[in-house]
Structure 1
Amino acid sequence: MAFTSLILILFCSFCLILQAQAQAQAQAPAPSSGAVDLVAILQKGGQYTTLIRLLNDSQQLIQIQSQLKSNSQGFTLFAPTDNAFQNLKSGALNHLSDEQKVQLILYHVTPKYYSLADLLTVSNPVRTQASGSDGSWGLNFTGQGNQVNVSSGVVETQVNNALRQQFPLAVYQVDKVLLPEELFGEKSPAAPSPKSPKSSPETTTVGKAGGAPSPSGEGQKDNGAAERNMGFGVILGVGLICMGALS
Structure 2
Amino acid sequence: MAINISLLISHFTPFISLYLLFHTTTTISAVNITHLLSPFPDLSDFSALLSATTVAAALSHRSSLTLLAVPNSFLRSSSLLRPSPPSNIADVIRYHVLLQHLTPNDLTGFSPSGKLVPTLFKTTSRDSRATSNLGYVNVTYDGQTNTTTVSSPAAYSQPPNSATVISVIKTLNHNVSIFSVNSLIVPYGFDLLTSETRPPLGLNITKAITDGHNFNVAASMLAASGVVQEFESDENGAGITMFVPTDDAFANLPATANFQSLPADKKADVLRFHVLHSYYPLGSLQSIVNPVQPTLATEDKGAGMFTLNISRVNGSVAINTGIVIASVTQTVLDQNPVAIFGISRVLLPKEIFGKNDENAPVGNGAPSPVSSSSPGDFPPEFFVPSSPPANREELHSSATVRCVNFVVFCTGLLYVFV
- TM-score relative to the length of structure 2: 0.36
| Structure 2 gaps, min length 5 | 1-126, 136-186, 359-418
Instruction: Give the distance between the partners of 1:34 and 1:133, measured in 2 at CA.
Output: 30
Name 1:10's counterpart in structure 2.
none
Query: Which residue, 231, 240, 249 being the options, matches 1:84?
Result: 249
Query: Which residue, 245, 265, 284 being the options, matches 1:99?
Result: 265
Residue 18 of structure 1, CA deviation: 9.5
* Residues 146/165 of structure 1: CA separation in 2 closer, same or farther (3 Å cut): farther
Matched to 1:137, the amino acid is: F
Instruction: Give the distance between the partners of 2:130 and 2:302, measured in 1 at CA.
Output: 49
- Kindly report which structure 2 residues correspond to 1:78-227, keeping only aligned pairs within 5 A, or say none: 78-90=243-255, 92-122=258-288, 123-131=290-298, 132=301, 135-143=304-312, 146-186=315-355
Residue 135 of structure 1, CA deviation: 4.5
Assess if the C-alpha contact under 8 Å between 1:31 and 1:168 holds in 2: no
| Structure 1 gaps, min length 5 | 1-14, 190-247
- Structure of larger gyration radius: 1
Secondary structure class of the residue paired with 1:114: coil
- Of residues 109-118 and 58-67 in structure 1, the stretch that sits farther from structure 2 once superposed is 58-67
* Residues 111/94 of structure 1: CA separation in 2 closer, same or farther (3 Å cut): same
Secondary structure class of the residue paired with 1:103: helix
Bigger relative CO (Cα 8 Å, ≥ 6 apart)? 1
1:47 is the counterpart of 2:214: yes
Residue 137 of structure 1, CA deviation: 1.3
- TM-score relative to the length of structure 1: 0.60
- How many residue pairs match? The answer is 167
Name 2:28's counterpart in structure 1.
none
Secondary structure class of the residue paired with 2:270: helix
Assess if the C-alpha contact under 8 Å between 2:319 and 2:326 holds in 1: yes
Residue 141 of structure 1, CA deviation: 1.2
Name 2:225's counterpart in structure 1.
58
Greater percentage in helix: 1
Matched to 2:251, the amino acid is: Q
Residue 16 of structure 1, CA deviation: 2.8
Secondary structure class of the residue paired with 1:94: helix
* Residues 86/144 of structure 1: CA separation in 2 closer, same or farther (3 Å cut): closer
Secondary structure class of the residue paired with 2:295: strand
